[in-house]
Structure 1
Amino acid sequence: MILETDRLLLREMTLSDLDALLLVLGDAELMRYYPKPFDCEMVQKWIERQRRNYAQHGMGLWAMVLKATGEVIGDCGLIWQEVEGHQELEIGYHVRRDQQMQGYATEAAYACQDYAFNVLGRDRVISLIRPENIPSRRVAQKNGLKVVKEILWRDIPHYIYAVQRSESKLLATSNLSEAEKSKFKA
């Protein structure tokens, strides 16, 4: 396990997560902001890429696991992205469609932001989000990220959402009261 919140565990992906992640990354509606939904081979390569990230950087996108059931419902984590010639630490997330609107992406992304600032000592994190991806934009906004620029990234318009450590009002998610957590429901 890498991170834990009240409801979630974030852990390294393994190939045994392929079927669970195919339900997320292979969902055409969920992946409408990507060039196309993933097939089984693409999900396998996704997992292998994350495993390389773990070995090389000590982080990547991690499997998002519901503590109550042990079920993998998506991924969330920290990945290095090249943006306009600079390396930026991005918080990325995907949640299975039937598990959305319960605040899981917000909770997991918040834990990742806390980890980036308070464990890794980073001063800034970003999320690259397509302008029309309103659900992901809401997650970023709830976690204090703001649009700082619109760019063409991989030939597609994206907003760079960012937050500086000095701007963040971070508390560890596991320390939030139920009332505070309710603010993160997406």
Structure 2
Amino acid sequence: MIETARLVLRKPLLSDASSLFEFLGAPEAMQFTHTDASLKDCRQRIAVHERRRRRDGYAPWTVILKSTGRAIGWGGLYDDPFDSGWGVEPGYYFHPGAWGHGYGSEFVSAALAEADHTLKLAKVGAFARPENRVSRRLLEKAGFELIRFVPEIERFFFERQRPTALTSPAPPIAS
């Protein structure tokens, strides 16, 4: 479990599926990515990612708003089990009622801290559709650089290297 100023990020439970399906199954909320067609599909998505957590040591979390205890999002670091081969990326999906409050930036910051300090990943990638300006701006603000457009998936690919201060050995201590 990870806590930020306003959020709790924890492993999803199958009992979260109904709350998560409110937005993971809503075309408006998921307009730039995959929409779950049914509650069963949402449960399947959770289960597939949890199997990957056991294998990889990371997977999406349920995002809980501390002030209400309500699930407002789902996402985290993962190598997409439905389209693998692109490497580790942060995915983030929020209920439309949570949009515009800075939760995405807070979430991505926590996910990158996990990538840098716990998982010690050398780099993290991310994708955003050209028309998803909010996500593109969030990624750039978090330190991701636009690498290229990937026509076969109609998305921009971004990448963020682990900060050099975290990858370099500590300087020698002067005596």
* TM-score (norm: length of structure 1): 0.81
Alignment of 1:111-130 (within 5 A): 111-130=110-129
Could you tell me which residue of structure 2 aligns to residue 149 of structure 1?
Answer: 148
For residues 70-110 of structure 1, the C-alpha deviation after alignment (integer angstroms, 9 at most, x for no partner) is 1110112100148x995511011001001111011111111
- In the alignment, structure 2 segments of 5+ residues that lack a partner are 167-175
Evaluate the alpha carbon distance shift between residue 8 and residue 36 of structure 1 in structure 2; reply closer, same or farther with a 3 A threshold.
Answer: closer
Tell me the equivalent position of 1:163.
Answer: 160
Q: What is the CA distance between 1:112 and its match in structure 2?
A: 0.5
Cα distance in structure 1, aligned partners of 2:135 and 2:61: 17
Q: Report the identity percentage.
A: 30
Number of matched pairs: 165
Kindly report which structure 2 residues correspond to 1:57-136, keeping only aligned pairs within 5 A, or say none. Answer: 57-81=56-80, 86-136=85-135
1:112-150 residue CA offsets vs partner (Å, 9 max, x unmatched): 111101111111111111111112112212211121111
Q: Which SS does the other structure have where 2:121 is aligned?
A: coil
| Cα distance change of structure 1 residues 85 and 51 upon mapping to structure 2, 3 Å threshold | closer
Tell me: CA distance 1:40–1:147, structure 2 relative to 1, closer, same or farther (3 Å). Answer: same
Bigger strand share: 1
**What is the alpha-carbon distance in structure 2 between the residues aligned to residue 45 and residue 103 of structure 1?**
29
Q: What corresponds to 1:32 in structure 2? A: 31
List alignment gaps of at least 5 residues for structure 1: 170-186
In structure 2, the residue matched to 1:174 is none
Letter in 1 for 2:39: C
Structure 2 distance, partners of 1:57, 1:81, is 11
Aligned CA-pair RMSD: 2.2
Runs (4+) of structure 1 exceeding 4 A deviation are 84-87
